[in-house]
Structure 1
Amino acid sequence: MLEIQKKLKSSFYTILSLPATAMGFALSIQISALSWILSEKYGFHLEEIGIVWAAGPLAGIIAQPIAGLLSDKVWFWGGRRRPFILIGGVLTSIMLLAIPNMDIIGKALGQEGATVGIAIAIALTFDLAINVSFNPTRSIIADVTPEGEKRTNGYTWMQTISGTFGVLAYAIGAFFDNYVLIYSGIFIVFAFSVFPLFFIEEPKKLTSTNDGEEQSKASFLEIMDVIKPLYGFLIYAFYVIVAKVLDLPPSNIYIEIGCLVITLVAGIQVILASRNVEKDKLEFQKILFAHSFTWIGVQSMFVYMLAFAKVNVMGFEMDQEVAEVLKNNIGKIVAVSFLVLNLVGAIFPSLIINPLVKKIGQVKTHTISLAIMTLGYFGVYSLVGKDSEYLLYFFMVVIGVGWASIISISFAIMSERVDKSKMGLYMGIFNLSVVAPQLVSSFKIGQLVNSYDDKGILFLICTITLLVSTILWLTVREKKGNDNATSANTGGGHH
């Protein structure tokens, strides 16, 4: 083991952050360029774009829990997480090359240019590759850092480095173009997925920790019990998939209301059960419940920001054909918006969020950050209109406060509520609270946004879902020993 890893020096935290940065950079490319390239180069309609984006959540539901579970149990190529990071990183680089060349791939397959089917196949493979890697890139941080301050440092460093490169991604898209962004991403993703692994030594055995209870292999029934607050989202996802395969109407009001009721009932049961007892399982379930509503709003912003920029800021109709220079202007508004978002996401974790965690605790810091994000969404909905792109950028700064916490502190919070020997599995389960709501965004939210001429409805939806999430996070308890500055002053030892 290198000396920098033994002493957990800043240089080691930097190296440790690079694999997650690679996957984050790939996702930044997807967020910045995918909707734009599908709409403006290949002429896809808004609902078709939503269907292509749905490939990612579908890949996540399947791949992340499986990859996480396997990475807890296997050991080859000198590591537990290493093989998955290597395989996923290389495949992600290849798929990045495929995205701007869908029409060439289509012609090679005997199709006339890019089709929705080809786009879905590439997006699905791209997201499968990311999902194979993403879970292990985050789990490896928990594997090599102790709970408390050191663990929080690991995830805030991860977000600082990842966020900085996210800013770089959107800057490239804004000041050059999306093609330069995609092709530069191929090399960055490959390098950051492969080379850091030569400097990180993984523990051969993971310590089992969870309220002092005797540990056993996670059974299917146990996993199903843990994900109870996500039942409604998963049932909805299953229905949408079946509906698409059987060519049924993708929208059924009775199924949608039923899924919402199932989600609310399961979530409220968990909250009520935790009133008089603190158990890691119940706290983890509350985190899943709260985090799922966060991601409906966040994913909706990512997928449909292009529509908002084109209609509400630039003043065009959604399907209106515009000159090439105006297409680029729309793309730049989206790219600069996400550049600002990620700039705050890069700066805040180390400078603001980490010090605040030491004073008031992880959960309170995260809840306050989400409340600020909610206000930012409401500001965009109520104040941003035609030719007010700079006001949009201002509110993206406000929204970025919540984004900084979502992609840093939330992982530290959940990682201290699960058995460390099953960290990969639980990271995969935690990801279900991200990808299952994303399907709601890709289909139901897409239908709602598409049905309104005023695309400001997007940010009203974001406001409501983030407000619900903020309220639900108020029910989550701080981990004992992490209250206020306690964990920061104990040197980050195990609880």
Structure 2
Amino acid sequence: MLQMQQRLSLPFLVLLGLPSTAMGFALAVQISALSWLLRTRYQLDIHEIGIVWAAGPLAGILGQVLIGIISDKVWFWGGRRRPFILVGGLLTALSLMALPSIGLIDQALGLDAILGVAIAVALALDLSINVSFNPTRSLIADVTPEGPQRTAAYTWMQTVSGTFGVLAYAVGAVFGNVALIYFGVVLVLLFSLVPPLLITEPRALAGAEAEAAEARAPKLSLGTVLLLMRPLWPFAIYAVVAMGLKLTGHASHSMWIEVGFAALAVGFLVHALMEPQPAPNTAREDLPAFRKVLAAHSLSWIGVQTMFVYMIAFVQQRFPGLDDDGTGRLMSTSFLVLNAVGALVPALLLNPLARRFGEVHVHAASLALMALGFAFVYFAGHSATAVYVGMAVMGLGWGAIVSLPFAIFSQCVAPARIGLYMGVFNLSVVLPQLAVSLGVGMLIEHLPDKGSVFLVGAATAALSAIAWMAVKRVPLAGAPAGAGTSAMPSSGGH
């Protein structure tokens, strides 16, 4: 195995991507099965399902950034990433096993509080995934040199992870979501416990030049970091207010709070998108462009997360003749189609088009097509076939969302700080997810037509496509031509 690692052979690159695949598969199981379980087995209301899903973004805010920083500084059990992958994988498998047993756990504890137990199980699952997710991707950078070999490693990670993600929805569609959960337990254990033991981590990391560059770069204060995420302030403030209301027993209230924060968010997003960018090659970092990326990317995640969390309500209303298993299979097949297209298009279609027309234009066009897919399901999604067609069209946008934004924002910032910016960039995913869990759920609950799930997606995807056109690619001073054109190796779950 050591010789395979030294040669960076194809079997070793596949092995290297398996731990990340395990965490991606666990997320796919959660997307396919969690809302279905909570709605059909435990009869939770739509807004209650949203509260359970809020656990994921909270875990993402705390987990990936903190664990990534900690795993850079420690060494035990023969590695810096290995301990977190092993522990996180074991905890993820145990949390997956708990999903179908939420009711039994509630009874065993004598709580009679299904919602609280469901939140606890979902939070445990998300925290477990986030313990491993950052280290699984950092491990690849640790054992591969910069350049084509590292790109190949991340490409194979994406290929393997995407393939198994499609498999997850296929298992759910054919055998049901409960079978998918237990299949996920076995796969997560196998892929997270075995490969790390076969991979030798270097005690001394390469990249001394990068570390020296980081030491020379001026440090950013907390205030500067907060200014970086300025377009996301309304999402963060709303999350605190809405969570406080729910924890104090005000789970149901008028939507005026949501309307107010939506207006505030629009103001902050428009301000960011209208912020002037420096002239080419005059700025070390183009922070206005970075803030525009945050604004545009956050809009697309509102629609995507609304679909992931609340599609169960749409399916139950549009297809009342389906039993619980039939509902689960329709949802699993829908997500299978979405992810199959999303796994294929980045390398086969989007990357070649981006080389010719530019990443921003291709990404905006993909989101416009995604908006059309959302609208198609809303207006024509009265049969399973029509839903699948719409999901396939949405897959074009989904493939862009998980691949192109990194290539765009990485040319706006100094390479020595890419870890910091990646952490802030992740907030443009998790903070909108929190807004969806805490606010959009109440909106869907009150609207008589649950197809509004897809109207929300159509509107936000279209607005995101328009917003992305405000991002102007400004190369950094001294940056080589074509810098920053690599695609993101994997999607961020949380």
Task: Please give the range of the TM-score, normalised by the shorter of the 2 chains.
Answer: 0.7 to 0.9
Map of 1:134-173 to 2, 5 A cutoff? 134-141=133-140, 153-173=152-172
Q: What is the rounded CA distance, in whole Å, between the counterparts of 1:256 and 1:450 in structure 2?
A: 14
Query: SS in structure 2 opposite 1:434?
Result: helix
Cα distance change on mapping 1:254 and 1:104 into 2, 3 Å: closer
2:344 is equivalent to residue 347 of structure 1: yes
Q: Distance in 2 between matches of 1:179 and 1:409?
A: 34
| Pair 1:430-2:431 in alignment | no
Q: Give the deviation of 1:185 after TM superposition.
A: 0.6
Q: Which residue of 2 aligns with 1:31?
A: 31
Amino acid at match of 1:440: A
Write the distance in 1 (CA, Å) between the matches of 2:63 and 2:483.
Answer: 37
Q: Which amino acid aligns with 2:71?
A: S
CA contact (8 A) 1:359 1:485 kept: no
Name the residue aligned to 2:86: 86
Does the 8 Å contact 2:94/2:185 carry over to 1?
yes
Give distance in 2, aligned partners of 1:342 and 1:486: 25
Q: Secondary structure at the match of 1:247?
A: coil
Task: Answer yes or no: is the 8 Å Cα contact 1:72–1:422 preserved in 2.
Answer: no
Distance 1:221 1:300, change over 3 A: same
Instruction: Tell me what 1:204 maps to.
Output: 205
Residue among 438, 449, 453 paired with 2:448: 453
Listed one character per residue, the Cα deviations across residues 169-214 of structure 1 (whole Å, up to 9, x for unaligned) are: 1111111111111111112112222333332645625553899993
Counterpart for residue 321 of structure 1: none
* Equivalences for residues 35-54 of structure 1 within 5 A: 35-54=35-54
Q: Contact 2:243 / 2:438 at 8 angstroms: preserved in 1?
A: no
Are the counterparts in 2 of residues 159 and 349 from structure 1 also a CA contact under 8 Å? Answer: no
Partner of 2:491: none
- Larger displacement relative to structure 2 (259-268 or 301-310): 259-268
1:335 aligns with 2:332: yes
**1:63-462 alignment runs, 5 A limit:** 63-112=63-112, 115-141=114-140, 153-197=152-196, 198-199=198-199, 201=201, 204=205, 206=207, 207-208=209-210, 214-216=216-218, 218-248=220-250, 251=253, 253=255, 255-277=257-279, 279-312=285-318, 314-315=319-320, 326-385=323-382, 388-415=383-410, 417-418=412-413, 420=415, 422-462=417-457
DSSP 3-state at the match of 2:278:
coil
CA distance change for structure 1 residues 301 and 181 in 2, over 3 Å: closer, same or farther?
same
What letter is aligned with 1:122?
V
Are the structure 2 counterparts of residues 209 and 454 from structure 1 closer, same or farther at C-alpha, using a change threshold of 3 Å? farther
Cα separation, partners in 2 of 1:486 and 1:221, compared to 1, 3 Å: closer
Q: Using a 3 Å threshold, how does the CA distance of structure 1 residues 26 and 82 change in structure 2: closer, same or farther?
A: same
Give me the CA root mean square deviation.
3.1
The gaps in structure 1 that reach 5 residues or longer are 317-324, 489-495
**What TM-score do the two structures reach when normalised by structure 2?**
0.86
Distance in 2, Cα, partners of 1:414 & 1:103: 44
| More RCO (CA 8 Å, sep 6+) | 1
| Partner AA of 1:85 in structure 2 | I
Separation (CA, whole Å) in 2 of partners of 1:149 and 1:289: 31
CA contact (8 A) 1:173 1:335 kept: yes
State the alpha-carbon separation in 2 of the partners of residues 140 and 429 from structure 1: 21
**Counterpart of 2:333 in structure 1: which amino acid?**
V
**Counterpart amino acid of residue 94 in structure 1:** L
The 1:194–1:43 alpha-carbon spacing in structure 2 relative to 1, beyond 3 Å, is same
Moved more, 289-298 or 445-454: 445-454
The C-alpha deviation readout for 1:236-276, integer Å capped at 9, x for no partner, is 10011111122235556554344334434443444444433
CA distance in 1 between counterparts of 2:200 and 2:78 reads 10
1:303: how far off?
Answer: 0.8
TM-fit CA distance, 1:366: 2.6
Conservation of the 8 A alpha-carbon contact between 2:142 and 2:205: no
TM-aligned CA deviation for residue 305 of structure 1: 1.1
Secondary structure at the aligned position of 2:371 is classed as helix
Q: Is the 8 A contact 2:21 2:157 kept in 1?
A: yes
Query: How many equivalent residue pairs?
Result: 476
Amino acid at match of 1:303: V
Larger deviation: 252-261 or 147-156? 147-156
Report the identity percentage: 47
Map of 1:462-481 to 2, 5 A cutoff? 462-478=457-473, 480=475
CA–CA separation in structure 2 for the residues paired with 1:74 and 1:280: 33
Query: SS of the residue aligned with 2:328?
Result: helix
TM-score, length of structure 1 as denominator length: 0.86
Runs of 5+ unmatched residues, structure 2: 487-494
Report the more deviating stretch, 434-443 or 193-202: 193-202
Distance 1:128 1:426 in 2: 22
Contact 2:24–2:161 (Cα < 8 Å) also in 1: yes
User: Contact 1:14/1:157 (CA < 8 Å) preserved in 2?
Assistant: yes
Counterpart Cα distance in 2 of 1:75 and 1:37: 39
Q: Distance in 1 between matches of 2:114 and 2:464?
A: 37
CA distance in 1, matches of 2:472, 2:7: 31
* CA displacement at 1:89 relative to structure 2: 1.8
